[in-house]
């Protein structure tokens, strides 16, 4: 017997109502598609884990898909404290933060509609003093939760803030307005984390991988990474949301199980998902294999299921989203060396050997000789890019010197392990 509904949110896909998310008196969430969305053959499901149907989806599925849009770990705890709600109540968090999330969705109270996304009428741009103050405040108040009507949310454990870029200047979007960029400041706990990501994104682009574009900026002595959102397009001053979902959401896995060691998705699961969901699976599978190899080369042990996403382009094509949250985690000894997803059975980067490539190829459904050749090609491309110098304008060279050296050494060593160099 279902319990009475306590509260509800309307789920919007850009300017259309896609469904309704409710919470009952027992604290369980439920989602049901809008009838207009169901009968429209062109309207896609909100998630691979939520195929279109008349019957409602219940708490577990809702937490995996919709709860996966919320901040994680310490960021979530801080947001919940700022809002005065439980960090274990995703409905109330979405109620407060769901105006602008990853992808095309927005979660709004009944009777409220998304604002027209017009950059000409965005919130006032921030001058240097206010931007510096925001960067100072952001670690204590993630997503500006509870401040000024901001209703913003992004998954992940790293401090970040969705913003709007207006003529090159940063502004906080109006409540419910789609953002265009993300701000990632340097955290106190992991110095030069943002610089690390800036370098990894630039290196990925330099070797021909599809990666999010990052720009290094500084204001009043405070450095930050400004990342352009790949799930937004701008045309004639209006911002349009593109839908995306990370692999954990698409596979119906909650954020607290994103690591394979905790029962979360493996690379085998990830490749199988791409083959089911992508419009051109063969192409996207090769892109994911490249991404996995690149993460090994740079020393990113934290490439879990929430760091890969499906992106639905404007024409409806589903692709592997550009790479994001690329960080060489092995520069911090206090972080776990365990791989978020085993690479060919290897639990750590140091355990990868010649046989690992054969096993990974089997997980990916690719021929082992191809994977070995691709490892050699990508390793060589990384070495060449590092030799020429990976340019991140404004980023101090001493911030990445050790990272460059470690990456070059790892690229050479990986090619040897793949058996492509003597």
Two structure tokens written together for 80 = 């919940």
Strand extents, DSSP E, 291-371: 309-312, 318-320, 338-343, 346-348
> Quick one: which of 258, 214, 67, 222 has its CA closest to 139?
222
Q: Can you tell me the distance from the alpha carbon of 265 to that of 267, in angstroms, rounded to the nearest whole number?
A: 7
Contact present, 330 and 337 (Cβ < 8 Å) = yes
Q: Other CB atoms closer than 10 Å to residue 313's CB: what's the count? A: 12
Residues with Cβ within 8 Å of 6's Cβ and at least 6 positions away in sequence, in order, are: 22, 23, 24, 25
Two structure tokens written together for 185 = 């400041």
Two structure tokens written together for 70 = 């919320």
Q: In whole angstroms, how far apart are CA 171 and each of 102, 123, 401?
A: 18, 6, 33
Contact present, 335 and 238 (Cβ < 8 Å) = no
Q: Can you tell me the distance from the alpha carbon of 171 to that of 166, in angstroms, rounded to the nearest whole number?
A: 7
Q: Can you tell me the distance from the alpha carbon of 109 to that of 79, in angstroms, rounded to the nearest whole number?
A: 20
CA angle (140, 231, 178) in 5-degree steps: 60
> Quick one: which of 148, 212, 147, 154 has its CA closest to 178?
154
Length of the chain: 422
Q: In whole angstroms, how far apart are CA 314 and each of 118, 233, 242, 400?
A: 19, 9, 7, 37
Active-site residues, by number, are 302
Residue 357's Cβ-side half-sphere holds a number of Cα atoms within 13 Å equal to 22
């Amino acid at each position: 017997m279902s319990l009475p509904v306590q509260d509800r949110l309307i789920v919007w896909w850009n300017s259309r109502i896609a469904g309704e998310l409710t919470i009952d008196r027992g604290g369980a969430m439920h989602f049901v598609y809008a009838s207009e969305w169901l009968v429209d053959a062109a309207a896609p499901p909100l998630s691979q884990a939520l195929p279109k149907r008349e019957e409602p989806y219940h708490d577990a599925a809702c937490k995996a898909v919709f709860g996966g849009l919320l901040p994680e770990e310490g960021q979530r705890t801080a947001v919940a404290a700022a809002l005065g709600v439980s960090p274990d109540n995703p409905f109330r968090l979405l109620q407060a933060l769901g105006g602008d999330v990853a992808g095309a969705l927005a979660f709004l109270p009944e009777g409220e509609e998304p604002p027209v996304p017009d950059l000409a009428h965005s919130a006032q741009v921030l001058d240097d003093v206010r931007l510096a103050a925001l960067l100072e405040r952001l670690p204590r108040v993630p997503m500006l939760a509870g401040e000024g009507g901001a209703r913003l949310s992004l998954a992940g454990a790293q401090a970040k803030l969705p913003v709007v870029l207006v003529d090159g200047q940063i502004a906080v979007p109006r409540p419910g307005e789609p953002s265009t960029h993300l701000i990632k400041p340097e955290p106190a706990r992991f110095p030069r984390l943002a610089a690390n990501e800036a370098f990894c994104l630039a290196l990925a682009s330099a070797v021909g991988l599809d990666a999010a574009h990052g720009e290094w900026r500084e204001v009043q002595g405070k450095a930050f990474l400004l990342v352009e959102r790949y799930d937004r397009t701008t045309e004639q001053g209006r911002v349009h949301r593109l839908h995306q979902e990370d692999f954990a959401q698409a596979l119906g896995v909650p954020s607290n199980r994103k690591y394979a060691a905790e029962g979360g998705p493996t690379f085998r699961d990830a490749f199988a998902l791409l083959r089911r969901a992508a419009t051109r699976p063969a192409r996207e599978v090769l892109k994911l294999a490249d991404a996995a190899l690149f993460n090994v080369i740079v020393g990113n042990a934290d490439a879990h299921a929430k760091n890969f996403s499906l992106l639905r382009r404007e024409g409806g094509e589903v692709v592997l989203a550009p790479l994001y949250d690329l960080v060489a985690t092995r520069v911090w000894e206090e972080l776990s060396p365990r791989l978020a997803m085993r690479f060919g059975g290897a639990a750590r980067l140091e355990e990868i050997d010649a046989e690992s490539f054969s096993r990974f190829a089997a997980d990916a459904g690719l021929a082992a000789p191809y994977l070995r050749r691709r490892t050699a090609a990508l390793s060589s491309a990384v070495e060449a890019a590092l030799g020429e110098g990976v340019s991140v304008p404004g980023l101090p060279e001493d911030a990445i010197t050790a990272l460059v050296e470690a990456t070059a050494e790892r690229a050479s060593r990986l090619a040897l392990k793949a058996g492509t160099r003597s």
